[in-house]
Amino acid sequence: MAGDVFGSRGSEHRACTRNGVSITASVREHGGGRQQVEVVDLSQAGFRMRAGSFIAPDRITFLTLPGYNPLEARIAWHENEYYGCEFVQRLHAAVYDDIVRRYPSLNVRS
């Protein structure tokens, strides 16, 4: 599925295309509590989310999207309330396509 690369952080090193999405999901740190987040872009290798509470880089988290099993991911970076996360195991192409189809971005570009 075609998409755009969002932002400049690490884009020159990405092997997978990122698509804008709008998903209210939850993240749980390994051994910690759960918090609601907004996933704003997604690739087979990872995602970018907006979270209200700090999560330290390199922490292992579990992302739960509505209708899917939890996905294990590592916090790769954060800037203000945004976090870049890398899946421990890449998403299968069919799962990725289904998520992007079900949760398109609400952003309108001019």
* pLDDT band (50, 70, 90) for residue 105: confident
Give me the residue label for tokens 């790769």: 76
SS3 102: helix
* pLDDT band (50, 70, 90) for residue 15: low
pLDDT at site 8 = 41
Evaluate if residue 7 carries a pLDDT over 50: no
Q: pLDDT digits over 31-70, tens only?
A: 888 999 999 999 999 999 999 999 999 999 999 999 999 9
Taken as a whole, the chain contains a residue count of: 110
CA dist., res. 89 & res. 45, Å (int): 8
pLDDT at site 102 = 93
Q: Encode burial over 16-45: b for 16+ CB neighbours within 10 A, e otherwise.
A: bbbbbbebebebebeeeeeeebbbbbbbbb
Q: pLDDT digits over 62-86, tens only?
A: 999 999 999 999 999 999 999 999 9
pLDDT at site 79 = 96
